[in-house]
Amino acid sequence: MEIVGYIASLVIGISLGLIGGGGSILTVPVLVYLFRVQPVLATAYSLFIVGSTSFIGSFPKYKGGEINLKTAIIFGLPSIAAVFATRAFIVPSIPDELFSIGDLVVTKALLMMLLFAVLMVFASVSMIRNKNKKTEERDDTVQKFNYPLILVEGIVVGVLTGLVGAGGGFLIIPALVLLSKLPMKQAVGTSLLIIAAKSLIGFTGDPGKEAMDWTLLLSVTGLAIAGIFIGNALSKKLSAEGLKKGFGWFVLVMGIYIIIKEIFFPGGGAH
């Protein structure tokens, strides 16, 4: 299982390099089901892995002029504050057992996995469906900022990132295109920088860092970083839209699998 986990770690980075997002949505399931990491701790691991990989991956985007720093700051600041507060205050305050429905006891770990699976389903839909071409091709539009909506979206993405450890690129990229009027390529590059900043700063607010297996964490991170360079190279030769759709279907199946497994067949995941 660990060998499959290390291969999957490489895939996380490749997908980030190829399609600018989506890979982070696999990080928590890989850690929980393949490396047997406890779900709440897995969300902290995921912040570090996703943040480090996105940070390294943002360098070639910056060199290529595909990052808008003003937008990254305006969108990133509320998101960073929200993810830090979520990891430092909200996650530790959630009780280990919340409530029960019949024989099903809803624990903190189960809630995290179900919330994550629902997020996977939403992410997959955004990857599968055909985007409006007018939205994709706004390369010559004058940039305008819808500040109230950017603030709200930044906070929502930050809280979700803090709770489930996913980068939230599937939420950030459409928001940057629609609310900041960024061209699609710049939205992808800028989202990588935002994901990197909020994930790594959110990780510093996590009180469970002392319990981490740093050997595992750095191994998975190293493979994901290698993957993002492979993905960047492949992105020049392959159709990103076709890959995104195929990856979206895979994420949808994974999300449904997690929901079914956690509700009807609990106990087979992390220890």
User: What span, in angstroms and rounded, lies between the C-alpha atoms of 10 and 195?
Assistant: 18
Q: State the sign of the Cα–Cα–Cα–Cα dihedral 178, 202, 50, 36.
A: negative
Mean pLDDT, rounded, for 117-127? 83
What per-residue string of b and e applies to 170-196 under the rule 16 or more CB within 10 Å gives b? Answer: bbbbbbbbebbbbbbbbbbbbbbbbbb
Residue 176 and residue 71 in contact, taking contact as beta carbons nearer than 8 Å: yes
Residue 57: the pLDDT is 86
The tens digit of pLDDT for each residue in 39-88 reads 888 888 998 998 999 899 888 889 989 899 988 998 889 999 998 898 88
CA nearest to 127, candidates 221, 254, 229, 237: 254
The dihedrals phi and psi of 62, each to the nearest 5 degrees, come to -65, -45
Q: Minimum mean pLDDT among 136-145, 163-172, 255-264: which range?
A: 136-145
Residue 138: the pLDDT is 47
Cβ–Cβ contacts within 10 Å for residue 147, how many?
A: 10
Residue 173 has pLDDT above 90, yes or no: no
Cβ–Cβ contacts within 10 Å for residue 89, how many?
A: 12
Is the whole-model pTM more than 0.75?
yes
CA nearest to 96, candidates 115, 114, 113, 110: 110
The dihedrals phi and psi of 101, each to the nearest 5 degrees, come to -120, 100
Mean pLDDT, rounded, for 204-217? 80
CA nearest to 118, candidates 166, 175, 150, 155: 166
* pLDDT more than 70, % of the chain: 88
Residue 108: the pLDDT is 87
User: What span, in angstroms and rounded, lies between the C-alpha atoms of 12 and 254?
Assistant: 14
Q: Band of the pLDDT at 210, cuts 50, 70, 90?
A: low
Residue whose entry in the numeric block shows the structure tokens 């994930």? 199
